[in-house]
Amino acid sequence: MTRARIAVLASGSGSNLQALIDHFRAIGASRAGDIVLVASNRTDAGALERGARAGIVTDVVVGDATLVDLLAAHRIDLVVLAGYLKLIPPDVTQRFAGRMINVHPAPLPAFGGAGMYGVHAHRAVLASGVSMSGPTVHFVDEVFDHGAIIAHWPVPVLHGDDEHTLAARVLRAEHLLFPRALQAVASGAVSLTEAGRVSAPFFQPLPAPFDPSCTDEELGARLDAALG
């Protein structure tokens, strides 16, 4: 099977990018795609440095036309948004419908939309009084945090949490869930139907909440078992 050519777009430090790189390296020949491009709308984004260290081509997106040209030049099959804080232009989302995914650090649709990113999302979760937060992976459309949900992993909100402690716990879950969701989409195990729905209902919801007392290795093994 031909591997999907993947572009990762990121605006920040690139910790989710690193999780994707590390996971795809770990699964070796069984991976369904190769990250061939890392791009950012910020010249100082740490993600660019992480990509360069991994031997991946990096570039800076200076406008919508640049993004279109970049994706075409690198023959990209699948676009991954990993903390990319710029709205993707409609011509790109339409061209990559069902082939563009994003990870959001809170439950959707309750805690999504313009301005609801990073600590802002975590503050909103805490202010709401809900007992569970957690990352959501979804297909991307023309609206912030709006596309069909691929997977959500519930993460407990603990007594005494602030936006920083909650963010750290959710980020651990992101780093485990996001690479596995990408593998599922790249392999075709999960796709977007013509009706705009996710094809694999077993991927949502996951059967058990994130357990912060477990190691990442234990959590990863449980996630792999749950996802089949």
Q: Which residues are catalytic?
A: 104
168 Cβ neighbours under 8 A, 6+ residues apart: none
The answer to whether the CB of 98 falls within 8 A of the CB of 62 is no
CA angle 114, 36, 53 (to 5 degrees): 90
Q: Which distant-in-sequence residues (6+ apart) come within 8 Å of 129 by Cβ?
A: none
Please say whether the beta carbons of 98 and 150 come within 8 A. Answer: no
**Angle, to 10 degrees, between the axis of helix 15-27 and the axis of helix 163-187?**
40
Distance CA 142, CA 145 (A): 9
